[in-house]
């Protein structure tokens, strides 16, 4: 989905960010990733933490692009749509994280949906890789936000 379409549908709004805001998002990403690694937590809990880290890092990229997701419904969905609009290099991650959103919604709202250790480990790995590429992208876009 393009920035224009997201803007026309009032899913996002232009809004500058700050290093302080991005640093707070980074702190929350790190905390969620740390919790996702705790093996004593249920697989669903670990998956939820890893998913939250992905969503928060995607939010940081969108914010560094000069936009804020303002959709009242489907906020998480439109965060990943906005991530796709940000840079073509994030397309694969955005699609993967949107499928993680679907799985998270299934077990959060529909009940007992199995989540395996492999599901969790794959998501954690994807988030950590995305975090690295996102940070490089933010630094290249605006070094004052790095």
Q: Which domains does the chain have, with CATH numbers?
A: 3-145 (1.20.120.330)
Q: What is the pLDDT at residue 28?
A: 99
pLDDT at 9 over 90: yes
What CA–CA distance (Å, rounded) separates 133 from 119? 21
Question: CA separation (Å) from 120 to 5, 40, 49, 87, 139?
Answer: 33, 13, 9, 26, 28
The answer to whether the beta carbons of residues 103 and 119 sit under 8 Å apart is yes
The answer to whether the beta carbons of residues 120 and 25 sit under 8 Å apart is no
Q: What is the pLDDT at residue 110?
A: 81
- Enter the pTM of the model: 0.96
Q: What is the pLDDT at residue 106?
A: 85
């Amino acid at each position: 989905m393009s920035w224009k379409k997201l803007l026309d549908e009032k899913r996002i709004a232009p809004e500058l960010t700050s290093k302080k805001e991005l640093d707070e998002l980074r702190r929350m990403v790190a905390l969620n990733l740390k919790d996702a690694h705790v093996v004593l937590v249920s697989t669903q809990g670990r998956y939820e933490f890893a998913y939250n880290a992905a969503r928060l890092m995607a939010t940081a990229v969108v914010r560094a692009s000069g936009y804020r997701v303002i959709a009242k419904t489907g906020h998480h969905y439109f965060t990943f749509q906005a991530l796709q609009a940000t840079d073509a290099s994030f397309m694969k991650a955005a699609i993967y994280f949107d499928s993680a959103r679907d799985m998270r919604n299934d077990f959060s709202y529909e009940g007992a949906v199995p989540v395996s250790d492999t599901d969790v480990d794959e998501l954690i790995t994807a988030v950590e890789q995305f975090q690295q590429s996102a940070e490089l992208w933010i630094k290249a876009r605006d070094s004052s936000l790095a």
